Structure 1
Amino acid sequence: MSEVTVEELFDQGIERYQAGENAADLIPLFKDVCDRVPKSSPAWTCLAWLYLLDKKPTQAYKAAQKAVKLNPQDPQARVNLALAMLETAKSGVRDQVELAAQMMLAVPELHDEVKQNIEEGLSRRSDWKSLTRIQAWLFGDE
């Protein structure tokens, strides 16, 4: 049997997430992907999101920092970082939200993607006050 590539592992993780699998069950898979490909911003972005869903903001903050460092133009990575900062009472949240908003203005597809991710996050964690705040900051006047 052939070994699964990192790309296949990542894709399997995304499919399992989209199928509704619990974030806690997916964290080990995405940690493995991040360990194998430490310069993969999408993997770190996913891992940060899963940590946030699993109410582990400190781990999410570290993963989101890596994602933003690897790809400063990814608004979802910035949203994840802002969420983790809110949930760990760190300063600089507004700067991250403003940068994400600017990137979403520049690329309409990113706007839709982030909006869908936020809505999906709230469907998994309806009591997520930090995400509701970020949603209001980014999309409040739509």
Structure 2
Amino acid sequence: MTNTVESLFDTGLERYKAGESADALIPVFKEICDRAPKSSAAWTCLAWLYLLDDKPNPAFKAAQKAVKLNPQDPQARLNLAIAMLETGQKGLRQHVDAANQLMIVSPELREEIRSSIEDGFSRKPDWQSLAKVQTWLFEE
């Protein structure tokens, strides 16, 4: 029996929420991206997992694809900004600003990003790039 892309995605998310390591989940989300290359959500998840696993170059590529597929996703923009910070690239401020604009329009998205950042720190406590982006997004 072949798993559908949707069931693979749901299972991957459940495993992530249960605390499974990024390293173990990267192959799952790579397969999802291979099978559903236009799934922004899959690319966003893959980028996040790469970032958690200290692999900023593949994270950058995955985040770029996620943003290209869905420019209105603040998590994809957040991932891209973090990957750009970690790979020493310029131009990340536009992605932080775009994420901020999207969060202003939607309090639900703002809370999702806040939760995502908390999750990131729970898995990678000394994550400097995430701390910088958090400051930029939530400095009030």
Unaligned runs of 5+ in 1: none
Q: State the shift of 1:93 in Å.
A: 1.2
Aligned position for 1:14:
13
Aligned pairs, how many?
A: 140
Aligned position for 1:42:
41
Distance in 2 (CA, whole Å) between partners of 1:140 and 1:26 is: 32
> 1:109-128 counterparts in 2 under 5 A?
109-128=108-127
In the superposition, the TM-score normalised over structure 1's length comes to 0.97
Aligned position for 1:135:
134
Deviations 1:15-72 (A, max 9, x none): 0000000000000000000000000000000000000000000000000000000000
Check if 1:80 corresponds to 2:79.
yes
Distance in 1 (CA, whole Å) between partners of 2:82 and 2:97 is: 13
Check if 1:92 corresponds to 2:91.
yes
Distance in 1 (CA, whole Å) between partners of 2:94 and 2:5 is: 33
Distance in 1 (CA, whole Å) between partners of 2:132 and 2:90 is: 15
State the identity %: 64
Check if 1:27 corresponds to 2:49.
no
Q: State the shift of 1:119 in Å.
A: 0.7
